Chains A and B, each alone.
Chain A
């Protein structure tokens, strides 16, 4: 019986050359030390890609990429199609994990010097894979065709429109016409399900072939330098003296990591579910606060914080510089030390990059620069900022509420975060300075001079002068002769009023 099975296998093998294929692929030799937990991120990214392809193909059973139907089919997928919500969730969390693990993989490869001679093309193909993966993430967020997707395309068009000379052409190429419409969604669909996945598979073939032909990076040791003349012999020596086949001896850690990633995706999908869709992609519903998915949150933050004179350059040239730099890494840093402990610049670069991305993403989520559009209607004025005020000051509090000052200015932390909190403004600015600021604006504040009557300005300023912590005197004009500080109790009740008189 066993003999028969063996013969059947040998017959098949003689025709399909399975064992030969195995020997050259899964069974290729790796340095024993490279079978490390640090080396599992590449295969885990690949696993995410497989999950994305399977779940994506299945989602396409129900999804219709039509401007009129996409939203309806998303709702159908989420609420009616059996297990549709879970597959959407797996696809969403799969994409989050794919981007995250891909970045971990890239970081590990960089810190372990794996991009150096002779693995330059492995790195270069990896960088292009990263770009395509981010392209899939961006087009994927458009597939979830809701109001965020609609305005997200608008943001993409606005960035494209900043291209010098051919801006309009780039916008029309991106939108499939002069304006966002059904053709825009169709071309993003084609990119997301045909063009980019096809590209990613082709690049992956190159990437994996490089791993097989040039070998997986040996586990770096401090002091062992890469030299173009001697490296190939050095690596062959490691494989000969201290190597083993990847499968079956080195693969178990990848298998464990793969199982962890799969479980993580499913658990996230089960616990958190899919994202959205939120409101319909109806441009007339302008009561919306468009935000990107988390991998693009840092770009959203950069766009808010950048000084406007360098914005176009940063949005268009910045990515190009970043990509060229990444592609060039293995060429200007081709030999020498691989171990991270002897490469302080590399370690600092990684730390700086992650800290910046982390802070920018967090700022993007909080977005303190955005006015709180509903603050003027919904936010209360804390009691202690109203008690014991004069009628004029109370009138000022009303004007501040009614003229939507609260959309940008909080009072004691409640309200918009764009401008300074008004709770302490009376300690910094004198009444005339406040009048000037309100009437003329400046420092990123609009001028309200045409929009407030002199009486309203008086009321607002009187109120703001009165807003300060107990016992802290109002700001004084330093050009006036110094007066002895008034007693604490009187300061709170009278000085605001006096300042308004002056």
Chain B
């Protein structure tokens, strides 16, 4: 290490900066080797960087689809009522624990005519609760309220409740599920 008090005539680091360039710039062997080393690392960096980015962004790139899940026999839902049901998240993994069971509100209008609402308030995703007597869904976070058909009643939510696509097959109620419902979710 050289200290400022003792200036030395010797060029630092083996003379690379010692010679002042004269005349027009001529690429030297050293410049070439530096560029070569940098280029090699750029290629190697891409080689390792692409899989790293691919891994980190895999949940964005992967195509997820809504999948049909059963909510059980339609008899569970008497006509004219709205009841809490739940289903197994079709994308669940073993270590999800209790998180894999997702709740939703099922309203049987009449016969095979249903409305299946997501539990998440359309404002900021808190779980809405059904009040049978006043026929309202109320949200505990910012006071959003929805009518029994899911339409917006009052409060800050920007739209009515998210609804699942449903199908009745052999007396069983199926819905298309697998997504966290937000304002960005399509087809809800």
Cβ contact of A447, chosen from B60, B153, B158, cutoff 8 A = B153
Task: Please name all residues of chain B whose beta carbon is closer than 8 Å to the beta carbon of A278 when the two chains form the complex.
Answer: none
Q: In residues 275-301 of chain A, which contact B (Cβ within 8 Å)?
A: 280-284, 286-290, 300
Do the beta carbons of A155 and B125 come within 8 Å of each other?
yes
Select one of A66, A154, A181, A288 contacting B89, CB under 8 A.
Answer: A181
Partner of A175, one of B101, B102, B153, B180: B180
Docked Cα-Cα span, A312 to B101, in Å, equals 30
Classify the interface of chain B: helix, strand, loop or mixed.
Answer: loop
- CB-CB under 8 A from A172, the residues of chain B are 59-60, 62, 64
What 1/0 flags go to B122-142 for Cβ under 8 Å of A?
011111110101111010111
Which residue in chain A gives the minimum CB-CB distance to B157?
Answer: A308
Evaluate contact between B99 and A418: CB separation under 8 angstroms: no
Q: Is B166 an interface residue (CB 8 A)?
A: no
B49 at the A/B interface (Cβ < 8 Å)? no
Task: Count contacts between A and B, CB distance < 8 Å.
Answer: 197
Chain B proximity of A405: nearest CB distance (Å): 8
Is A151 a contact of B95 with CB atoms below 8 Å? no
Determine if A36 is an interface residue (Cβ-Cβ < 8 Å): no
When chains A and B are docked, how far (Å) is the Cα of A450 from the Cα of B153? Answer: 13
The answer to the question of B84 belonging to the interface, with a C-beta cut-off of 8 Å to chain A, is yes
Q: Cβ of A289 and Cβ of B99 under 8 Å apart? A: no
Cα distance, A300 to B96, chains bound together (Å) = 28
- Cα–Cα distance between A349 and B101 once the two chains are bound (Å): 48
Assess whether B143 is in contact with A369, with CB atoms less than 8 Å apart: yes
- B120 contact set on A, CB distance < 8 A: 154, 158
Q: Which of A75-83, A88-96, A162-170 lies at the interface with chain B?
A: A162-170
Per the bound structure, the CA–CA distance linking A444 and B143 in Å amounts to: 10
Q: Does A157 lie within 8 Å of B142, measured CB to CB? A: no
A181–B98 CA distance with the chains assembled, in angstroms:
9
The answer, yes or no, to whether B54 is at the interface (CB within 8 Å) is no
* Complex contact B140–A288 (CB within 8 A): yes
The answer to whether B91 and A181 touch across the interface, beta carbons within 8 angstroms, is yes
Task: Indicate if the CB atoms of A180 and B134 lie closer than 8 Å.
Answer: no
- Determine if A181 and B140 form an interchain contact, defined as CB atoms under 8 angstroms apart: no
Q: When the two chains form their complex, are residues A177 and B156 in contact, meaning their CB atoms are under 8 A apart?
A: no
Name A249-291 residues within 8 Å CB distance of B.
280-284, 286-290
Measured between C-beta atoms, what is the minimum distance from A191 to chain B in Å? Answer: 12
> Counting CB contacts under 8 A, is A404 at the interface?
yes
Evaluate contact between A173 and B183: CB separation under 8 angstroms.
no
Question: When the two chains form their complex, are residues B142 and A303 in contact, meaning their CB atoms are under 8 A apart?
Answer: yes
Interface size bracket, A side = 35 or more
* Closest Cβ neighbor of B128 among chain A residues: A286
In the complex, the answer to whether B97 meets A67 with C-beta atoms within 8 Å is yes
Counting CB contacts under 8 A, is A407 at the interface? yes
Please give, as numbers and ranges, the residues of chain B lying within 8 Å of A304 by CB-CB distance. Answer: 141-143, 156
What residue in chain A is nearest B146 (Cβ atoms)? A446
Chain A: minimal CB distance from B170 (Å): 26
Complex Cα gap A183–B156 (Å): 30
- Flag if B119 contacts A404 (CB, 8 Å): no
Interface pair B125/A370, CB less than 8 Å apart: no
Task: Pick the residue among A168, A373, A446 that contacts B147 (CB under 8 A).
Answer: A446
Q: Mark B53-90, 1 if CB is under 8 A from A, else 0.
A: 00001011010100000000000000000001010010
Of B96, B125, B153, B179, the residue contacting A68 (CB under 8 A) is B96
> Is there an interface contact between A370 and B143, defined as CB atoms closer than 8 Å?
yes
Do the beta carbons of B97 and A158 come within 8 Å of each other? no
Contact A178 B91 (CB under 8 A): yes
Partner of B99, one of A181, A287, A308: A181
Residue A150 at the chain B interface, CB threshold 8 Å: yes
Q: Which residue of A is nearest B101, CB measured?
A: A284
The reply to whether A168 and B96 form a contact with Cβ atoms under 8 Å apart is no
Q: Is the CB of B92 within 8 A of A181?
A: yes
Question: Given known contacts A161-B183, A178-B64, A446-B145, is B153 in contact with A441 (CB within 8 Å)?
Answer: yes
Q: Is the CB of A176 within 8 A of B59?
A: yes
User: What A residues does B125 contact at CB under 8 A?
Assistant: 151, 154-155, 157-158
- B154 sits at the interface (CB 8 A): yes
Indicate if the CB atoms of B127 and A288 lie closer than 8 Å.
yes
Q: Is A171's beta carbon under 8 Å from chain B?
A: yes
Contact partner of B178 among A167, A170, A178, CB < 8 A? A178
A445: CB under 8 A from chain B? yes
| Contact residues in B for A176 (Cβ distance below 8 Å) | 59
Cβ of A38 within 8 Å of any chain B Cβ, yes or no, is no
Asked whether, in the complex, the Cβ of B182 is within 8 Å of the Cβ of A158, the reply is: yes
Chain A residue nearest to B135 (CB atoms) is A451
Residue of B whose beta carbon sits closest to that of A175: B180
Q: Which of A160, A182, A306, A451 contacts B182 (CB 8 A)?
A: A160
B8 interface hit (Cβ, 8 Å):
no
Please tell me if the beta carbons of A283 and B143 are within 8 angstroms of each other in the complex: no
A403 to B102 CA separation, bound complex (whole angstroms): 28
Instruction: Contact check, A402 vs B183: say whether CB atoms are below 8 A apart.
Output: no
A179's nearest neighbour on chain B, judged by CB, is B180
Given A162-B182, A182-B99, A447-B153, 7 more A-B residue pairs with CB atoms under 8 Å apart are A68-B97, A158-B123, A160-B184, A161-B184, A286-B129, A308-B156, A376-B133
Give chain B's interface residues, CB within 8 Å of chain A: 57, 59-60, 62, 64, 84, 86, 89, 91-103, 119-120, 123-129, 131, 133-136, 138, 140-143, 145, 147, 153-158, 178-180, 182-186
Closest 6 CB pairs between A and B?
Answer: A161-B182, A167-B184, A68-B97, A158-B125, A446-B153, A154-B125
